Amino acid sequence: MAIFKGSGVAIVTPMKENGAVDYESFANLIEFQIANGTDAIIVCGTTGESSTLSHEEHLEVVKFCIDQVAGRIPVIAGTGSNCTETAVYLSQEAEKYGADGLLLVSPYYNKATQNGLYAHYKTIAESVKLPIILYNVPSRTGCNILPETVVRLCRDVENIVGVKEASDNIAQIAHLAAIGRGVVDIYSGNDNQIVPIMALGGLGVISVLANVAPRQTHEICQKFLDGDVEGSRKMQLDAMDLCKTLFCEVNPIPVKKALNLMGMKAGSLRMPLSEMEEPNVERLKKSMTEYGLL
């Protein structure tokens, strides 16, 4: 059975001005998501600035999220690393805390071969019992998990159940859907491709957009799952400009700014990420206003 269907938010990690994690604001963001129908929370992913959290902070944020959610919806912990040993450690700790699943980004910088990816993921999966979603985002990692490798892993390793596909390559995702039917749970990793990927059999999205528009992102998915493809398509198209604007600078710079504009206290960014440039802030305000968020 799938870990979740619908909209999973790749939640931001709010920071205080001194750079410390702002747990009070984090609790408020989690409650905002649950109150607005989000189907799962993905903590310490790219949007959560996991790359600049220490291992101790990373695990503290994961545990806090699990405790705050308290079983109301699934919590999927981002525990991937370009070091297999580190990913095993983070995954085992998240399992102890009660995570419902794990999201494992492909090893970045090392640029492993497909055989290396297979061995990496198999080693991590065999160290835990939790269901695992692979995360394919070549634009960030420099490494593409090919469809054949995804299917091989899902067939050979019981608790590897699916993939977050952010390759932006619809042809590749269609090929994966064709060869992985009944074996691979596919989630869109791009908010501008929720409906196209669900049309190929995808189960939903792991979303940046859901940080600021949780109800709408949930409804895009739920309408499709309920058979209202036209309604889902309309909502997807209505969100396209905002989806684009949320990536006019590298994620999570725009989405944190958007939350701050909404009064949600996402706080600052950790270096090397920098504050959003003023022309892009104005562009973001315009897009958010047109979408009804401001």
Query: Annotated catalytic sites, by residue?
Result: 135, 164
Helix (H) or strand (E) holding 10: strand 6-10
What is the β-pairing status of strands 160-165 and 185-188?
A: parallel
The pair of structure tokens assigned to 149 is 């490798």
Q: How far is CA 254 from CA 56, 91, 203, 228, 250, in A?
A: 26, 29, 26, 31, 7
CA distance 270 to 258: 16
Whether residue 125 contacts residue 159, with contact meaning beta carbons closer than 8 Å, is answered with: yes
Instruction: Give the burial class of 35: count Cβ atoms within 10 A of its Cβ; 0-12 exposed, 13-18 middle, 19 or more buried.
Output: exposed
Which amino acid is present at 267? G
Question: Which residues face 42 on adjacent strands?
Answer: 10, 76
What is the rounded distance in angstroms from the CA atom of residue 89 to the CA atom of residue 42?
Answer: 18
The amino acid at 65: C
In degrees, to the nearest 5, what angle opens at C-alpha 160 toward C-alphas 252 and 36?
45
Between strands 204-207 and 101-105, the pairing is: unpaired
The answer to whether the CB of 177 falls within 8 A of the CB of 171 is no
Rounded to a whole number of angstroms, the CA Rg of the chain reads 18
Residue 197 Rama label (left phi>0; alpha psi -120 to 50; beta) = alpha
